[in-house]
Amino acid sequence: MNVICPKCKEGYSIKIDLFLDKQQQLQCIRCKHTWEENFFKEVFENEEKFENLLSTKGERKLTSKQVLKILKEEAEFDEKFQEVSLSRKNYKKTSNGSEHKGKELSFMELLGSKEFWFGFSISLIASFISYIIYLYAETLIMQFPYLNTYLGPFVDFVDSVRNWIDGHKKEFFNLIRNRLL
């Protein structure tokens, strides 16, 4: 039978043969909340029919000692997991192994991180490849005509960006100059 803690909504599956036609006091392993659960035969039979419809293979029923052992192990695992996740939230490691507590990286720390240089290298390589493709687009299209459907829009986009920059050169440089000053 499935039992759910009314406080934290943690679910447990237990064998109720030991508790049939009884009212049993239960305690949640996770939040330590105690409540009373009624284990009546009709409820058990209806739930068993429903579970049999859902599962195709019959599973071995656990005894109450086995269930308690499993629940305790799960609770201990949850506590350890929460401790680890809380400690990881408070400390972030940089790639050079130094730890800092929840602060933003300075410019020099950023330059020292492997992640920055990896991303920067990938960006440079992608830019270089895009530039080479733009320069040799006509040759590539002549050699491989089916690339026209891909390279044509790419070249048109780069040309439109270049035309926009040429038309707004003064504004563009003033914007950059104002940001740097």
Q: Which residues of 16-48 are buried (b: 16+ CB within 10 A; e: fewer)?
A: beebeeeeeeeebbbeeeeeebebeeeebeeee
Is 29 within 8 Å of 74 (Cβ atoms)? yes
Planar angle of CA 119, 124, 126, nearest 5 degrees: 95
Mean pLDDT over each residue of the chain, to the nearest integer: 76
Residue 100 belongs to some domain of the structure: no
**Is 60 exceeded by the pLDDT of residue 54?**
no
Q: Which of 24-28, 36-40, 118-122, 160-164 has the lowest mean pLDDT?
A: 36-40
Same domain? 83 vs 129: no
Reduced to 3 states (helix: H, G, I; strand: E, B; else coil), residue 118 is: helix
pLDDT-derived band at 175 (thresholds 50, 70, 90) equals confident
In a shared domain, residues 43 and 66: yes
Report the C-alpha gap between 96 and 85 in whole angstroms. Answer: 22
**Same structural domain, 82 and 20:** yes
Per the structure, the count of domains in the chain is: 2
pLDDT digits (tens, 9 = 90+) for 108-128: 777 777 888 888 999 999 999
Does residue 95 belong to any structural domain of this protein?
Answer: no
Q: Which domain, by its residues, includes 124?
A: 105-180
Instruction: Please tell me the distance from the alpha carbon of residue 12 to that of residue 5, in angstroms, as a whole number.
Output: 8
* Residues 118, 79 share a domain: no
Confirm if 63 and 37 have CB atoms less than 8 A apart. Answer: no
3 and 37 Cβ atoms separated by less than 8 Å: yes
Are 123 and 61 contained in the same domain?
Answer: no
Average pLDDT over residues 146-152: 91
| Euclidean distance between CA atoms 138 and 149, whole angstroms | 12
Mean pLDDT over 87-107 rounds to 53
Q: Same domain for 26 and 84?
A: yes
168 Cβ neighbours under 8 A, 6+ residues apart: none
Indicate whether 8 and 80 sit together in one domain: yes
Residue 96 lies in a domain: no
pLDDT band of 67, cuts 50, 70, 90: confident
* Residue where a domain terminates, one of 34, 56, 90: 90
Question: Residue 91: its pLDDT value, please?
Answer: 46
Q: 94 is written with which tokens?
A: 């940089």
Determine the pLDDT at residue 85.
57
Whether residue 13 sits in one domain with residue 65: yes
User: Does one domain contain both 37 and 72?
Assistant: yes
Q: Is the pLDDT of residue 2 over 80?
A: no
Tell me, yes or no, whether 99 lies in a domain.
Answer: no
pLDDT over 70, % of the chain: 68
pLDDT at 45: 58
Q: Are residues 172 and 110 in the same domain?
A: yes
Query: Are residues 135 and 160 located together in one domain of the fold?
Result: yes
